[in-house]
Amino acid sequence: MSMSSWMMLRSIENSDRVARHSLRAGTTRRILRYARPYRRDILVFLFTVVLAAGIGVATPLLAGHVVNAITDGGPDAASTVIRLAVMIAVLAVADALLSLAQRWYSARIGEGIILDLRTRVYDHVQRMPLQFFTRTQTGALVSRLNNDVTGAQRAFTSTLSGVVSNVIQLVLTAAVMFSLSWQITTLSLLLLPLFIIPARRVGKRLAEITRESYDLDAKMNATMTERFNVSGALLVKLFGHPGAEADRFGERASRVRDIGIQQAMFSRTFFVAMLLVASLAQALTYGLGGWLAVTGGVTAGTVVTLALLLTRLYGPLTALSNVRVDVMSALVSFDRVFEVLDLEPGIEEKPDAVPLPEGAGRIEFSDVHFRYPSASEVSLATLEDVETLDRTENAPVLRGVDFTVEPGRMVALVGPSGAGKSTTSMLVSRIYDATSGAVRIDGVDVRDATLDSLRDTIGVVTQDAHLFHETIAENLRYARPEATDDEMWAALRGAQVADLVDTLPDGLDTVVGERGYRFSGGEKQRLAIARLLLKRPSIVVLDEATAHLDSESEAAVQRALAVALEGRTALVIAHRLSTVRDADQILVLDEGRIVERGRHDELVTAGGLYSELYRTQFATASPPPTYTDNVEIVTVPAGQIEP
């Protein structure tokens, strides 16, 4: 009874949310594809559900026969009672075994579907373009992997079994009750509207309270997540007001407490009403049935049977009155998961992709244009917590970029913020694909190369070296899982960080902390360089690898980079022009175009944008060199550069 009541209450709470969600075409067909591997288990599961429903009706009938045998008396009464009692015991044991079988099959089916959906969504999300992650709320995405996947799983466990069990139990119970006494059955069912109508009103109010509770819980979770990570905790300590923070959190927590009390009272009212109506129906059954038994209309056993069956009638009736909402809730959960799976990954490997040549090192950009995809192309409104996605097409970031990096050479990209430097580097490692034009490595278009060979060929170090909250060894082996301890120590020595790791009590088994915050910025960068050295790529991309470091840390990182770049093709992005003085060629980007190219001294002398950037960073009294050989300055009329 209580389980059926809870299922109905949950349905009422979800009814408004479900009603607002329109399913897309083909959702049911896709769900059945996920169920296909478990079709045999589902059939066995449903068979056990049907048997259990039959036992639920048979037991009250046998109980009625026991009462009749006792009241009728006779020489065989005792043996009849014992025989019926044994049958009831056997049915009880069978029901218990069926319950265990149902739970096993339910868990097997449900957890299997959860595994299939979660792994599919996780793998798919990993293939989404980077902009998807910059726009999406992490909590909303995690909810799809947890809440919605679990909701989808209920379609084949609680919802499916509940519908089948309730239908079988309702049909059998109603048929038996009407065959025993249609008068008592009809009178008992007349009380059902007295419960359902008020319950729906209570349920709607409870749904409003529950939604507010969820919103407040989400806000508290967001507050705790922001304040409890390392960066947030530091900000609060430096600029925050602990008293005000505690008061703000306390206000929300107090409201959650008040809502909790209201929820408890509404829920209790609901269940009390359910029990009260069922008890009143039983009282009517005993009253009318007892009168009929005394007058000879029915037997005493029939009255007991009807009273017991009545408890098995109200649960299925109330549950089935909301079966549409239960089914729709499960379908909506599936649909929300499919929304994520239907997003285009952005970067996919062609069926006929070819591996890059081993040791590939020549990079070629040929008339490359690029714009970032719009929100509608990479995201979902529900994952961004907005009503509608922005469909405005983004302006081009790169406009006809041409250059070549020969094997073993270092080319630097410099320019003002927003010029397209980082975007250029992302096209090499195929974080994004060029909108038009081509990026080639050793003559192979990166879009035609296998993703594995591309990842093996290219190593990247960014300005914010991310480390997982794992050990140093696990972070290093992320680049090459089969690496030995000796190989990791060699990489650490090359990155100028072996001495530091050697002083740690746990050495390679030291946990780095969230985002590597147990280490300084320079130490994290050197660990990231060690990870790159362990990977042994033939092409290295450095995206502001020494940005935001102090002079001492920068010097240590530069020594590590000298080892990392030796013999490798390098594409270096830097705001600090001192780090690219020795580059074989410097490309100056502005508004998505290469406006200057040459060596450091040549560009300083030329008096263009690079010279301006250099003077801004290093204003000196001594004049720069006066030669301008081999420097190319591309002048683009202002009218030809799109805003």
CATH number at residue 530: 3.40.50.300
Q: What is the pLDDT of residues 90-136, one digit of tens each?
A: 999 999 999 899 888 888 888 888 888 888 888 888 888 787 887 77
Query: Cα separations (Å) of 61 from 180, 309, 499, 595?
Result: 10, 8, 81, 92
Same domain membership, residue 161 and residue 33: yes
What does the angle CA 483 – CA 489 – CA 495 come to, to the nearest 5 degrees?
Answer: 110
Same domain membership, residue 335 and residue 388: no
Residues 608, 595 contacting (CB under 8 angstroms): yes
Same domain membership, residue 108 and residue 34: yes
Q: Which residue has the tokens 């069956």?
A: 309
350 belongs to a structural domain: no
224: CATH = 1.20.1560.10
Same domain membership, residue 240 and residue 333: yes
Query: Cα separations (Å) of 578 from 551, 596, 613, 629?
Result: 12, 18, 11, 21
- If one counts the domains in the chain, the total is 2
DSSP readout, 498-534?
HHHHHHSTTGGG-B--GGGTTS-HHHHHHHHHHHHHH
- pLDDT band of residue 615 (cuts 50, 70, 90) is confident
pLDDT at 96: 93
Same domain membership, residue 419 and residue 462: yes
pLDDT at 313: 76
Same domain membership, residue 492 and residue 375: yes
**CB count, 10 Å around CB of 26?**
9
Q: What is the pLDDT of residues 250-305, one digit of tens each?
A: 887 888 888 888 777 777 776 677 777 777 777 878 888 888 888 877 888 888 88
State the burial class of residue 134 (Cβ atoms within 10 Å of its Cβ: 0-12, 13-18, 19+): exposed
Same domain membership, residue 331 and residue 397: no
**Cα separation of 217 and 249, whole Å?**
11
| 444-445 β-sheet, strand order | 396-405, 363-371, 436-441, 444-445
352 belongs to a structural domain: no
CA 564 to chain centre: 36
454 belongs to a structural domain: yes
Q: What is the DSSP letter of 462?
A: E
105 belongs to a structural domain: yes
pLDDT at 87: 93
CA 486 to chain centre: 37
pLDDT at 199: 62
328 belongs to a structural domain: yes
409 CB contacts (<8 Å, ≥6 apart)? 569, 570, 584, 585
DSSP readout, 316-349?
HHHHHTTHHHHHHHHHHHHHHHHHHHTS--S---
Q: Which amino acid is at 302?
A: T
State both tokens at 304: 């007991």
Residues 121, 153 contacting (CB under 8 angstroms): no
Query: Cα separations (Å) of 49 from 53, 162, 175, 344?
Result: 6, 9, 19, 41
Choose the most confident range, by mean pLDDT, from 28-42, 147-161, 594-608, 629-643.
594-608
Q: What is the DSSP letter of 444?
A: E
Residues 500, 537 contacting (CB under 8 angstroms): no
Longest dimension (CA), the chain: 128
- Weakest-pLDDT range from 4-8, 167-171, 214-218, 587-591: 4-8
**Cα separation of 424 and 402, whole Å?**
11
DSSP readout, 151-217?
HHHGGGTHHHHHHHHHHHHHHHHHHHHHHH-HHHHHHHHTTHHHHHHHHHHHHHHHHHHHHHHHHHH
**Cα separation of 38 and 20, whole Å?**
31
Q: What is the pLDDT of residues 313-339, one digit of tens each?
A: 777 776 676 666 667 667 777 877 888
Same domain membership, residue 371 and residue 309: no
Residues 520, 554 contacting (CB under 8 angstroms): no
Same domain membership, residue 372 and residue 304: no
**Cα separation of 495 and 518, whole Å?**
18
As a whole number, mean pLDDT of residues 342-349 equals: 81
Q: What is the pLDDT of residues 171-225, one digit of tens each?
A: 888 888 888 888 877 877 777 676 666 666 666 666 667 666 756 766 676 667 6
Q: For residue 622, is pLDDT > 70?
A: no
Same domain membership, residue 135 and residue 77: yes
State both tokens at 46: 């449903």
389 belongs to a structural domain: yes
What does the angle CA 125 – CA 130 – CA 131 come to, to the nearest 5 degrees?
Answer: 105
Same domain membership, residue 540 and residue 398: yes
**Cα separation of 199 and 5, whole Å?**
10
Same domain membership, residue 413 and residue 314: no
Write out the residue range of the structural domain in which residue 136 sits: 2-341
pLDDT at 6: 44
Q: Which residue has the tokens 């990209």?
A: 413
Question: Of all residues in the chain, what percent carry a pLDDT higher than 70?
Answer: 79
Question: In 3D, which of 323, 377, 336, 344 has the Cα closest to residue 27?
Answer: 336
Question: Of all residues in the chain, what percent carry a pLDDT higher than 90?
Answer: 12
Residues 292, 298 contacting (CB under 8 angstroms): yes
Residues 410, 572 contacting (CB under 8 angstroms): yes
536 belongs to a structural domain: yes
Please say which residue of 341, 373, 397 terminates a domain.
Answer: 341
Q: For residue 18, is pLDDT > 80?
A: no
**Cα separation of 399 and 419, whole Å?**
11
Q: Which residue has the tokens 């809502």?
A: 259
355 belongs to a structural domain: no
Q: Which amino acid is at 516?
A: G
